[in-house]
Amino acid sequence: MRYSRVAMGAAAAMTLVAVSPATASAHDAHGDDGEPITTIANGLDGPRQLSEHDHRLLVAESDSGEVSWVDLANGRVHTAMTGLGNAQGVDYGHGRLYVAVGEAAPPPEDGAPPPAEAPADGPSSVLIEATSDGTVLRTFDLLEYELENNPDGQVQFVDGAPVDALSNPFSVLVQKKRVLVSDAGANDVLSIDLHSGEISTFFVPPVVTDTPECMAAENNPGTVGCDPVPTEITQGPDGLIYVGSLGAEAPGAGRVYVLDQHGTVVDVITGLTGVTGVAVDHHGSVYASSVLEGAPAMEGDAPPPADFDPSTVGQITRISPDGERATAEVTMPTGLEVHDGRLYASAWSVASFLGMPGAGEVQRVDRHAFTDVTP
């Protein structure tokens, strides 16, 4: 089962909940320094990947089709690009913006509140290169590459119809001579040469078969196991590349793959669920977000429990170099970024699926937010 969009699980599990804006404001963490979680910026529409440049954070807003700058000093939000459709990943390098635009959002289910309106005619399944003022320079068609190369080798079509999402670019990492893009729909990480524009396959994570839920899981025709579904990609201070994976949201099937600069696996962090964001600090601790951790399990169109509180959905796990783990309760986190020794997260990132457009935030997560330590 290929992954179509980060919020598909939320759409299936929680879209029948009508939550008033008061719920969001009650959870706002506008605390002073020293608070475990502090809201830096709010009013965002489906914030996904975060990237730092010049003491500011870039954030891709998937619901509004925008890329915005967030000033870390005062929380002001400045729009850099618009009209991008499902903007999910963004990074800055060489004086350019690089934006991963995912597949077009599916129509809402009957009775479900629609997410915030993204431009209907925006691009999809592409990487966009633009100037710092938002002028598009080049567009790289990642769906075309998937159709021509199919790096994971799974069946793409049955009776002329796509089996599932074919290409859903999710996260971007700009390096010296190339841009790496994790494609959640294609189950791969692609490399784009900045000089020639040539696209090649960098890494294909394996299908997960070593957890109880995945051992006999039905997948695309001819494939058994849980699709890896690569999400955020980042480079650590150690020069290694870290790739999170959703693992079809099956318990324990999420991974963080640690790669060298050639795409060779040097380590794998296992035992995670639904990884949507990854960051690494200078101490070597790895942070992995799970946007839907704690979401109620429901059958079909059944509503969630009457006492369901959406602010309790989501979690960030810290994995220390010695393997110790601790968790922080952050609401619906997706993108993660470490800057000046501090961890930042995009939060309430799938709130629009709960009828809460504009509820997205960028939050600073202090080390004191991490509890429930396990060796």
Tell me the pLDDT of the chain (375 aa) as tens digits.
Answer: 444 344 344 433 343 333 333 333 333 443 445 789 999 999 999 999 999 999 999 999 999 999 999 999 999 999 999 999 999 999 999 999 999 999 986 655 555 555 544 555 678 999 999 999 999 999 999 999 999 999 999 999 999 999 989 999 999 999 999 999 999 999 999 999 999 999 999 999 999 999 999 998 888 888 999 999 999 999 999 999 999 999 999 999 999 999 999 999 999 999 999 999 999 999 999 999 999 999 887 666 667 777 888 999 999 999 999 999 999 999 999 999 999 999 999 999 999 888 889 999 999 999 999 998 888
For residue 288, what are its two tokens?
């992995």
| Every domain of the chain and the residues it spans | 8-24+48-288+298-306
Dihedral angle over CA of 271, 272, 273, 275, nearest 10 = -150
**Residue 122: what pLDDT?**
74
**Residue 121: what pLDDT?**
63
> Does domain 8-24+48-288+298-306 correspond to CATH entry 3.40.50.300?
no
CA nearest neighbour of 256 among 340, 200, 189: 189
Burial of 222 (C-beta count, 10 Å sphere; 0-12/13-18/19+): exposed
**Residue 108: what pLDDT?**
55
Tell me which DSSP letter residue 55 carries: T
CA nearest neighbour of 129 among 167, 91, 183: 91
| CB 307, CB 20: distance < 8 Å | no
**Residue 361: what pLDDT?**
98
- Residues 143 and 331: their CA atoms lie apart, in Å, by 32
**Residue 311: what pLDDT?**
93
pLDDT tens-place string over residues 308-325: 889 999 999 999 999 999
Q: Nearest 5 degrees, angle CA 36-CA 37-CA 38? A: 125
pTM of the prediction?
0.91
